[in-house]
Amino acid sequence: MLRKQLGNTNIQAPPIIFGGNVFGWTLSEDESFKMLDELLEKGYNMIDTADVYSRWAENVEAGTSERIIGKWMKDRGVRNKIIIATKGGSSMQQGGPKNTTKDYLLKAAEDSLKRLQTDYIDLYFTHYDDGNTPVEQTLEAYQELINTGKIGHIGASNFSHLRLQESLDMAKEKELPKYEVYQPEYNLMARENFESWGRRFCRENNLGVTPYFALASGFLTGKYRKNSDFEGKDRKMFAEKYLNERGRKVLTALDKISEKHEVSQAAVALGWLMQRPGVTAPIASATKSSHLDAFEDAVNLNLSGEEMDRLLRASEY
């Protein structure tokens, strides 16, 4: 399997990173263990999670995703085979305030280490910028964590152009750790933010790019065509907004291209993202073994220039 270097880090990621938000949310612990076993067997050995994941699930505590991953790694004895990315800075309470102060992040990282049952995290993201904490203070927390070997590299998610630039400038000026990976929301239904400034910025600063919601919370699988398709589904709150004229144009284009290549719509959507300039490795989730077929198909798919353009036209914003 072709590996992708994330920015200037020593991390060699698989072409698709698995999104751990499903662990404890749409997958039970037993189901999560089976999925993790299969992912490792197939070579998808990088998991992206966060301290808050599972927070939105009914009667499930924040941190459950990390706990499940940690329990699985210990049970299987595979920590040295897995690349772990997790995040801090968001509130562990639904709707709570973001916090990127030094004290908060130091504790958040320690709590993640305990849940993951490991003594190091390969890649640690600032999940959200709180907009108030001096970026120097945030980077000082990471300096301490890196110096003690508790995290290997740092990344930023959901940052504005201004604050990300400020962070890189401060890292250079004060010789503090530099964000090496950027994690934006980017897919066929969410293009504008990354394409307006993120792609060029990441190229200029050699940042690895790992887009989340690669399948637009499941919308790009083609399973959701009308409002009633979302009834009783956990992803309704994330994906229902795409049921509009633009969304239907995208699904029509995916239908035609997937039929031609005899693969799923999800494989085409992932393949499009993997072939987009500036993208290192997208993040995608699955809840069934059969869903992983889309990963394999996407990795082996070579969309033509005309097909890439067709999807660009359909998803114009």
Q: Residue 240's pLDDT is what?
A: 80
Q: Residue 1's pLDDT is what?
A: 87
For the chain, strand residue ranges (E) read 4-5, 12-13, 17-19, 46-48, 83-88, 121-126, 151-157, 181-183, 208-209, 283-284
How far is C-alpha 97 from the geometric centre of its chain's CA atoms?
Answer: 21
Q: Which two tokens stand for residue 23?
A: 């662990």
Contacts of 99 (CB under 8 A, 6+ apart): 89, 91, 105, 130, 133
Mean pLDDT: which of 196-210, 213-227, 232-246 is highest?
Answer: 196-210
| From 53, 104, 124, 182, the catalytic residue | 53
Contact call for residues 215 and 238 (beta carbons, < 8 A): no
Contact call for residues 141 and 167 (beta carbons, < 8 A): no
- The per-residue pLDDT of the chain, averaged, comes to 95
Q: Residue 236's pLDDT is what?
A: 65
Measured CA to CA, the distance from residue 284 to residue 17 in angstroms comes to 6
Q: Which DSSP string do the residues of 29-49 spell out, in sequence order? A: HHHHHHHHHHHHHHT--EEE-
pLDDT band at 58 (very low <50, low <70, confident <90, very high): confident
Contact call for residues 113 and 70 (beta carbons, < 8 A): no
* Residue 143 backbone zone (phi > 0: left; psi -120 to 50: alpha; other: beta): alpha
Q: What is the pLDDT of residues 150-162, one digit of tens each?
A: 999 999 999 999 9
**pLDDT of 77 above 70:** yes
Q: Residue 126's pLDDT is what?
A: 98
What is the share, in percent, of the chain residues with pLDDT greater than 70? 97
pLDDT band at 239 (very low <50, low <70, confident <90, very high): confident
Q: Residue 235's pLDDT is what?
A: 64
53 given a catalytic annotation = yes
Q: Residue 146's pLDDT is what?
A: 98
* Count of all residues that appear for the chain in the document: 317
Q: What is the pLDDT of residues 184-214, one digit of tens each?
A: 999 999 999 999 999 999 999 999 999 999 9
**Beta bridge partners of residue 4, listed in sequence order:** 13
CATH 3.20.20.100 fits 4-183, yes or no: yes
Q: Which two tokens stand for residue 102?
A: 């030094």
Q: What is the pLDDT of residues 260-317, one digit of tens each?
A: 999 999 999 999 999 999 999 999 999 999 999 999 999 999 999 999 999 999 999 9
Decide: residue 172, CB within 10 A, 0-12 exposed, 13-18 middle, 19+ buried. exposed
Q: Residue 145's pLDDT is what?
A: 98
Model pTM? 0.95
Q: What is the pLDDT of residues 104-137, one digit of tens each?
A: 999 999 999 999 999 999 999 999 999 999 999 9
Q: Which two tokens stand for residue 238?
A: 């994330």
Q: Which of 65-79, 194-208, 232-246 has the lowest mean pLDDT?
A: 232-246
Q: Residue 226's pLDDT is what?
A: 79
Measured CA to CA, the distance from residue 203 to residue 218 in angstroms comes to 28
Q: Which two tokens stand for residue 247?
A: 């969304």
Domain-by-domain residue ranges, the chain? 4-183
pLDDT band at 234 (very low <50, low <70, confident <90, very high): low
The two beta strands, 83-88 and 208-209, are unpaired
Please, which contacts does 303-312 make with residues 24 or more away whose CB atoms are closer than 8 Å? 303/257, 303/268, 303/271, 303/272, 303/275, 307/257, 308/272, 308/275, 310/253, 310/256, 310/257, 311/188, 311/250, 311/253, 311/254, 311/257, 311/268, 311/272
